């Protein structure tokens, strides 16, 4: 993702990232974490509050934006989510900001209207990346959600939250394998700094370290 920001920056454009996934997986917090992560790397992000379905969602993402110190673009509850995303992209272009993070509504993946709304946001904001945010602890549910979103709007990558509590990392392997898309980041806790770029070697260690210890004990 950082390389993509640099490529877009060379063209004088922002990297536009759209986040999808159901409510309660930590999607909005993840957006706050990523804004903080890239702010610390010297980039200037802007967040689009495109979950206009719930007033609470707009407040929540505004809270994260204020906490990490980035601009938020928002409209009234019930307004067109695609228009909010579009405005955020235009704002980033006008102000020379390098990254646009678009929050979207997260009702259940079986909701046809929601999927149509996602497609419209994607069509209007033309994101460079569509990222599925899943909760590592929900296992098969997260994989099923990823499949549905991938079928509907073609996901480019995955971020898993609560990965610190999923000691074996099973969800990440399942999701990555089933939808054949890369895992970009792992959420590792509640704080804004608790996010790390996905590292396959680290994941292998997570998977096998306990087994090795058990074998040593038996020997």
Please choose, from the candidates 3, 2, 8, the residue with its C-alpha nearest in 3D space to the C-alpha of residue 38: 2
pLDDT at 215: 47
pLDDT tens for 88-143 read: 999 999 999 999 999 999 876 557 788 889 999 999 999 999 999 998 888 788 88
% of the chain exceeding 90 in pLDDT:
66
Confidence of residue 79 (pLDDT cuts 50, 70, 90): very high
Please give the Cα distance from 216 to 214 (Å, whole number).
5
Q: What is the pTM of this model?
A: 0.91
Contact 180, 156 (CB under 8 A): no
Mean pLDDT of 64-76: 97
- CATH number belonging to domain 2-218: 3.40.50.300
Find out whether 100 and 14 touch, Cβ atoms under 8 Å.
yes
Strand partners of residue 72: 47
- The distance from CA 201 to its chain's CA centroid, rounded to whole angstroms, is 22
Q: For 194-201, what is the mean pLDDT?
A: 89
Token readout for 100 is: 């646009």
Q: Of 81, 74, 158, nearest to 115 (Cα)?
A: 81
Residues 6+ apart with CB under 8 A from 50: 81, 82, 84, 85, 88, 102, 103, 104, 105, 121
Mean pLDDT score of the chain: 89
């Amino acid at each position: 993702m950082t390389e993509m920001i640099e490529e877009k920056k060379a063209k004088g454009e922002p990297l536009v990232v759209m986040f999808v996934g159901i409510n309660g997986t930590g999607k909005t917090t993840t957006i706050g974490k990523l804004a903080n992560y890239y702010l610390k790397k010297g980039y200037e992000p802007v967040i689009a509050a495109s979950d206009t379905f719930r007033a609470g969602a707009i407040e929540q993402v505004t809270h994260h934006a204020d906490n990490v110190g980035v601009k938020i673009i928002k409209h009234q509850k019930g307004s067109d989510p695609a228009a909010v995303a579009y405005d955020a992209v235009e704002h980033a272009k006008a102000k020379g900001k390098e990254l646009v993070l678009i929050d979207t509504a997260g009702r259940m993946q079986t909701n046809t209207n929601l999927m149509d709304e996602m497609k419209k946001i994607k069509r209007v904001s033309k994101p460079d990346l569509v990222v599925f945010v899943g909760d590592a602890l929900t296992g098969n549910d997260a994989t099923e959600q990823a499949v549905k979103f991938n079928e509907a709007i073609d996901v480019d990558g995955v971020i898993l939250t609560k990965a610190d509590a999923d000691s074996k990392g099973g969800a990440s392997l399942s999701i990555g394998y089933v939808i054949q898309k890369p895992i970009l980041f792992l959420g590792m806790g509640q704080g804004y700094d608790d996010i790390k770029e996905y590292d396959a070697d680290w994941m292998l260690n997570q998977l096998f370290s306990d087994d090795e210890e058990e074998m040593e004990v038996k020997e």
